[in-house]
Amino acid sequence: MSGVSNMKARESALRAKRFEADEKNRKVDDLEQMINEFERMAYDLECEVKAEEERTGVRDAQHFAYSTFARSAEQRRQNLLASVTELQGKLDSAVAERDDAVAELDEADAVRDRDESRNQRPSNLPVN
């Protein structure tokens, strides 16, 4: 009976490891999507700044006649790029955590497979 409860405990632990690996993978995906979205928004703002500079003819941000729209769009762009840098650090950590969780899951799967193959003896062989 203890073999059955041991197997159930092992399966429960394996499900928990699988859940953890899935959660960490979702976190990586979410961070990658956020980074991509912020980079796209920063690029769009850069295009808007260039278009505004073309429209006004003033490209020097220090010039008194520089567009306030261009100035604020550039500030938003800089903020987004700073967020991308911060998120990239979080992504690097999340990838390492995910890789560790996947390695633990793979190891647990291998142990389960090994144990299952040991427990499945062919029925036509004599037991010593």
Predicted local distance difference test score (pLDDT) of residue 39: 98
Predicted local distance difference test score (pLDDT) of residue 122: 59
Convert the pLDDT of each residue in 45-74 to its tens digit: 999 999 999 999 999 999 999 999 999 999
The pTM of the whole model exceeds 0.85: no
Convert the pLDDT of each residue in 60-118 to its tens digit: 999 999 999 999 999 999 999 999 999 999 999 999 999 999 999 988 888 887 877 77
Predicted local distance difference test score (pLDDT) of residue 8: 81
Query: Higher pLDDT residue, 4 or 117?
Result: 117
Predicted local distance difference test score (pLDDT) of residue 127: 56
Predicted local distance difference test score (pLDDT) of residue 119: 72
Decide: residue 75, CB within 10 A, 0-12 exposed, 13-18 middle, 19+ buried: exposed
Predicted local distance difference test score (pLDDT) of residue 42: 98
Greatest distance between any 2 Cα atoms in the chain: 95
Predicted local distance difference test score (pLDDT) of residue 71: 97
**CB atoms < 10 A from the CB of 101, how many?**
19
Whether residue 28 contacts residue 95, with contact meaning beta carbons closer than 8 Å, is answered with: yes
Question: What does DSSP assign to residue 124?
Answer: T
Predicted local distance difference test score (pLDDT) of residue 73: 98
Of the candidates 75, 37, 74, the one whose C-alpha atom is nearest the C-alpha of residue 52 is 74
Predicted local distance difference test score (pLDDT) of residue 123: 56
